[in-house]
Structure 1
Amino acid sequence: MRLGVLDVGSNTVHLLVVDAHPGARPLPAYSHKAELRLAELLDEDGAISDAGVERLVATIHEALQVAEDKGVESVLPFATSAIREATNGEDVLRRVTLETDAELQVLSGEDEARLTFLAARRWLGWSAGRLLVLDIGGGSLEIAYGLDEDPDVAVSLPLGAGRLTAGDLPGDPPEADDVRTLRRRVRAEIAKVVSEFTRYGTPDQVVGTSKTFKQLARIAGAARSAEGLYVQRELTRKKLEEWVPRLAVMSAEERVTLPGVSEGRSRQLLAGALVAEAAMDLFGVETLEICPWALREGVILRRLDHLP
């Protein structure tokens, strides 16, 4: 069957079309995405602006039309932290349903972490042993750890690259004091939850998912996406620590010239790098593997698990 997963995230609205059936690997058939950056469209009260809601509705309309054109039998629409935490989130959901017929399922931060962990487990297999999975989104950081398909512990922290850029790094390039202040805050937030994970023991493998980790690995020397999904890509803490101070003094326009960095994500890259560096340091991670599957694939896999 042909499924579509519609991910209304903090950075993008992404429709992933896959051909799938229970017991088989979902095969990507088409991808359609629009940069919306909802995390940056909040007003002073934490509400998504009227203009932002209008753009969201129009973008979902377009994605649903693409799904129809591609022969999708069923669309799984969901939303993450940007709508979950917006003060007018319920009103936004009602308007989306009224104007598009799409009933967005709002995932909790823990749901995001667990579904992303499921995707990483299925990609890497049982031989990976105890997994620690890190995912940096636009609005939040998800961390999950476990031996099975459902993690033993999963948390979500408000440390997304888009959120932090909009709230803490207004300059382009940012002021050095702002970078230092954000670095301290990020490390303090992550340090609060480290003990929840370390009591389960040292992971056998550490995985990073999300566009942020992929871009950081690419500028640190990992293979291009054009070389295929099955090429192993890694990010070392040593390389990341070398890049953070360089990113801190670059403008968004200068970061776009780096390999693998998109224009839409260039401003957020420094905040994402600070979060990645802090997580790897505080969890004692020297090297992590980049996993091409993440939340969207987790949603699809969970749906397939429940088909008769």
Structure 2
Amino acid sequence: MPETTTRPAPDLPPLPAASVFARSDPASAAFAALDLGTNNCRLLIAAPTGSGFRVVDSFSRIVRLGEGLAQSGRLADGAMDRAATALRACADKLARRPVRRFEAVATEACRRATNGRSFLSRITAETGLHLRIISAREEAELAMESCAPLMEPKDRRALLFDIGGGSTEIAWIRVPEGAHYGASPELIGYLSLPLGVVTLAERAGQDCFTERGFCEVVAEVADHLAHFDRVHCIGQEIRRGGVRLMGTSGTVTTLAGVAMALPRYKRPLVDGKTLDCEAADTALGDLFALGREGLAQHPCVGPDRVEFVLPGCAVYAAIRRVWPTERITVADRGLREGMLTRMMRADRCASRRRAGR
């Protein structure tokens, strides 16, 4: 069942608090954030600037950690080995570039798997990396943190969705008056659906290439979203105006790349771009019409993501069905950027305290 603010998730047993890499160096100007998801392992190393941060190094690899999880309830040996290989590569990068602070998190696959914590203990033993399993709420909060700079003064609310590998997170956000001058947006509701591109691809991936199968997934997801909508009166707020729809995931960035007719995907052209929803909807139709072979050859998709694009598009289509808006803001950013923002802000606050200000 989906998780919402009206039914809190069960408490998870605490993990060790340490999440700092062994070669952390207080003298370094760089910070690092690692996100181990159901489908991807991603590392971002960045140095703070006056307006945010500058990326120094990065790593991203498809590991499919959640492969088979929905059926077995466990992380498979092959999936763990793939993730371990990627995490060793991340550890090697960090060993060559000590950072001021480092945070590493694991999400839905490790939350759900009965052997998720034992796998992370193995990773600590093999690499020295300590990964913390975060709740669905914290996942939504980190996505909100990373996307908050894309909001504008006219926004009263924001509806942010993140279509992940193992789950889809929906964040309903209040933008306080003056938020763009220092006050932080507030998460007033969230929904975590155990439906992501990997879980849907394994369960209904082949069907998503047919019109009937695609529409069945859209209807299933829309049913879950409709309950969340009723609880928070989101549709009513959208009709009042001042609500920004934002999407952060490979699905929505792919739709943006197709809508913009990019010859190949370029993050600087997509991140922060606001599209007419009709253009994004047309891009969805174009992707569906390509079929498996056409998707594999498309420069914004490629063979590694063929199985995941249409399941993600079905989730997007359900969001559009329940919450029709005129425009959507596309964010090529997520948990890592949210973690970096938090770490840098905490470091600045600590520096001011030490200086007696």
* Global fold match (TM > 0.5): yes
Q: Which residue of 2 aligns with 1:47?
A: 74
Runs of at least 5 residues in structure 1 that lack an aligned partner in the other structure: none
Deviations 1:95-121 (A, max 9, x none): 122222211111111111111112111
Query: What is the SS of the residue equivalent to 1:64?
Result: helix
Runs of at least 5 residues in structure 2 that lack an aligned partner in the other structure: 1-28, 176-183, 351-357
The alpha carbon displacement at 1:6 in A equals: 1.0
Q: Name the amino acid aligned to 1:77.
A: A
Q: Which residue of 1 aligns with 2:251?
A: 212
Q: Which residue of 1 aligns with 2:36?
A: 8
The 3 A distance-change label for structure 1 pair 41 and 74 is farther
Query: What is the SS of the residue equivalent to 1:17?
Result: strand
1:250-289 equivalent positions in 2, closer than 5 A: 250-289=290-329
TM-score w.r.t. the length of structure 1 is 0.89
Q: Which residue of 2 aligns with 1:87?
A: 114
Q: Post-superposition, which runs of at least 4 consecutive aligned residues in structure 1 deviate over 6 A?
A: none
Query: What is the SS of the residue equivalent to 1:4?
Result: strand
Q: Which residue of 2 aligns with 1:188?
A: 223
In 2, Cα distance between the equivalents of 1:263 and 1:211?
14
Q: Does 1:74 align with 2:101?
A: yes
Contact 2:87 2:127 in 1 (8 A): yes
In 2, Cα distance between the equivalents of 1:46 and 1:220?
37
Percent of aligned positions with the same letter in both sequences? 26
Deviations 1:226-278 (A, max 9, x none): 47258752344333444445544544331133342233222211111111111
Contact 1:135 1:210 in 2 (8 A): yes
In 2, Cα distance between the equivalents of 1:201 and 1:43?
35
In 2, Cα distance between the equivalents of 1:234 and 1:127?
15
> Which of 172, 180, 198 is the equivalent residue of 1:162?
198
RMSD (Å) for aligned C-alpha atoms: 2.5
Query: What is the SS of the residue equivalent to 1:153?
Result: strand
Number of residue pairs matched by the alignment: 306
> Which of 152, 155, 164 is the equivalent residue of 2:188?
152
In 2, Cα distance between the equivalents of 1:92 and 1:3?
25
In 1, Cα distance between the equivalents of 2:224 and 2:301?
27
Structure showing greater radius of gyration is 2
Contact 1:240 1:273 in 2 (8 A): no
Contact 1:7 1:14 in 2 (8 A): yes
The alpha carbon displacement at 1:222 in A equals: 6.0
In 1, Cα distance between the equivalents of 2:42 and 2:274?
25
The 3 A distance-change label for structure 1 pair 259 and 230 is closer
Query: What is the SS of the residue equivalent to 1:20?
Result: strand
The 3 A distance-change label for structure 1 pair 235 and 259 is farther
TM-score w.r.t. the length of structure 2 is 0.77
Query: What is the SS of the residue equivalent to 1:284?
Result: coil
